Chains A and B, each alone.
Chain A
Amino acid sequence: MTDTTLSLKTGPARGRRRRPGFVAMLYLYGSLFIVAAIVLVPLLTTALGGFKTLGDLRVNPFGLPGEWQWSNYWDILSGARYWQMLGNSLLIASMTVVLTVAVAAMAAFALAHVRFFGSAFLMNYFLVGLMFPIATAILPLFIRIRDLGLLDTYLGVVLPQVAFGLGMAILLFRNFFRNVPKELFEAALVDGSGYIRFFWFVTLPLSRPILATVAIVAFVNSWNNYIMPLIMLNSQDKYPWPLGIMIYQGEFSTDWQLVLAFITLTILPTVIVFFAAQKHIVAGLTAGAVKG
């Protein structure tokens, strides 16, 4: 991402290339609009479908509703179910973010700044987690959580999520921490402050961008996670929204208009947050991948 700003500033390229001609513009915008339509039409049909009656939906799946059925949305918004699901998701995601950031930052700090026997081995140990998907060990994981008595608790979902996010988080943190200028370190050590004070007062305040990246990755992963709560939770009042939405779809399977309204409302927070904080989210999710 930093390279972007650099290349923009290194002048000569700027304005050098001529504006594309008319045919080229037509090709460019034509292609872009077609792809954008393929992306957006399903989303818009979903949102509009939530305003229709079932009969309207059958004869007119895309296009504006004949009569706007606000009650479809209103009934969901005024019920407890929707808010409870979002609340559960928010709680699980927040716990995951806090734990991931705290645990990974501490470990990465030790791996980046302290030289000790086995440090390289330990780093590779954590990186093994990046190699295989969470599903490979899902059954033993279920048994472990059950034996710990954490089945059907938020913690039973959070702990495995944190553990599987650690590899990437530690890698991102360590790469960033290693570039904290060593002069700062020497100055702090002359001051007589130890590693832990240095971590708290120097490293963390300097690391806001990477803290944001790790937090965004952890939050989005948890918010969208389906398999972990599916395996670990039993009672509906603890379900996060990906599970809740599936249950809802099962209950109202033929009432597509209600299901569509429900889908729209559940993805609405994501869409709003995405457009409000797009720069950070795109940077976080792609830089998370690239810098990793």
Chain B
Amino acid sequence: MSDAAGIIERPSPVASRGRAPSRRRAGAVGGHHRNIGGVWPVLVLFLPPALVLFTLFVILPMGEAAWYSLFDWSGYGAPEDFVGLKNFETLWRNGAFRTALTNNGLIILVSLALQLPLALWLATLVSHRIPGTTAFRLVFFLPYVLADVAAGLIWRFIYDGDYGLVASLASLVGIATPYVLADRDYAIYAVLAVVVWKYFGFHMMLFIAGLQSIDKSLYEAADLDGATPWQKFRTITLPLLSPTIRLSVFFSVIGSLQLFDMIMPLTGGGPSNSTQTMVTFLYTYGVTRMKVGFGSAIGVVLFLICVTLAFSYRRIFMRHD
């Protein structure tokens, strides 16, 4: 649990500017507070609302998912039909689920191998002191603010074989109109393009913030030594940006794993399950059919993947900190 905290928790900017020691001392005078005002009123009034809400709607459901996953249950009455690990077995033998797993892996891969370099490249471009960069930043960030559902619907139109942009581009080039989203082999790549379109701006903003915190005098020193732009990028920018890169990787992975809203308007997981992700699979086979046991098993697998990734992320990246 403390590992989970360690991944996310970073010193706040204020603290890193030298107030950290005073914070420690503020903690140390805790006993001092107790003499003056009672701590019980504040504990009894302030903590329970958050504690109850969080336990009731986050922690307990997660535990229940583990329990329900051992049953064959329609959600009505009490779960009685104990089936052990059968749900997990069925899940593993389900071809659509394996496609979903592969697709989630593919989304992570594209996020890391394509979207991240793209975002970093654009961040360096708009960090130049030239006119208009603020406007470009805003435009690039805009898709991130739009809802996934809206983005999905917009691109469903763009990809439409009869009316969309892709259709007219194809006729312009003189090839047969492709029905991209109806093609089992290509639909997932169309989805991936939308993912990058929607999220690169967010990562770009992260990188811009990261670039701004790099000490400019380092570049001056490198200039004096006659370093090429590429050398400066490799020896100054990249290493000093590594905390931001880690953060970006973290958000990419977590975001990729929960991709759902965008898939539904685009393909709904089809054609023939070729664009399912774990969450759309959960929705299609668990929620709409009210198979609580089976659906919970999917949730448990997703949970285990998230936890495993979080811990290995920590092992890989946080070792040197």
The answer to whether A182 has its CB under 8 Å from any CB of chain B is: yes
Q: How far is the CB of A284 from chain B (nearest CB, A)?
A: 11
- Report the bound CA distance from A46 to B150 in whole Å: 11
Measured CB to CB, the nearest residue on chain A to B193 is: A38
Interface pair B62/A137, CB less than 8 Å apart: yes
Measured CB to CB, the nearest residue on chain B to A123 is: B5
- Report the bound CA distance from A142 to B288 in whole Å: 12
Q: How far is the CB of A239 from chain B (nearest CB, A)?
A: 12
* Contact flag A159-B154 (CB < 8 Å), given A226-B149, A267-B147, A289-B206: no
- Report the bound CA distance from A26 to B202 in whole Å: 25
Interface pair A131/B310, CB less than 8 Å apart: yes
Residues of A within 8 A of B146 (CB): 224, 267, 270-271
- Report the bound CA distance from A25 to B133 in whole Å: 12
The answer to whether A249 has its CB under 8 Å from any CB of chain B is: yes
Instruction: Give the number of chain A interface residues (Cβ < 8 Å).
Output: 123
Interface pair A133/B58, CB less than 8 Å apart: no
Measured CB to CB, the nearest residue on chain A to B121 is: A31
**Residue from the list A28, A42, A260, A281 in contact with B125, Cβ < 8 A:** A28
**Residue from the list A115, A176, A199, A246 in contact with B31, Cβ < 8 A:** A115
Residues of B within 8 A of A61 (CB): 163-165, 167-168
Instruction: Give the number of chain B interface residues (Cβ < 8 Å).
Output: 121
Interface pair B258/A134, CB less than 8 Å apart: yes
**New contact pairs (4) apart from A109-B46, A124-B1, CB-CB < 8 Å:** A35-B140, A110-B46, A131-B306, A135-B258
* Contact flag A57-B15 (CB < 8 Å), given A107-B51, A271-B142: no
The answer to whether A138 has its CB under 8 Å from any CB of chain B is: yes
A interface residues, Cβ below 8 angstroms from B: 1-4, 7, 10, 12-13, 16-17, 19-20, 25, 28-29, 31-32, 35-36, 38-43, 45-46, 49, 57-58, 60-62, 102-104, 106-107, 109-110, 113-116, 121-144, 159-160, 162-164, 166-167, 170-171, 175-176, 178-179, 181-182, 185-186, 189-190, 192-196, 199, 220, 223-224, 226-227, 231, 242, 245-246, 249, 256, 259-260, 263, 266-267, 270-271, 274-275, 278, 281-282, 285-287, 289-292
Residues of A within 8 A of B5 (CB): 123-124, 127
Binds A, one of B90-98, B184-192, B279-287: B279-287
Most buried by A among B12, B146, B165, B300: B12
- Report the bound CA distance from A102 to B205 in whole Å: 29
Interface pair B64/A140, CB less than 8 Å apart: yes
Measured CB to CB, the nearest residue on chain A to B212 is: A4
Residues of A within 8 A of B174 (CB): none
Interface pair B153/A259, CB less than 8 Å apart: yes
Interface pair B61/A3, CB less than 8 Å apart: no
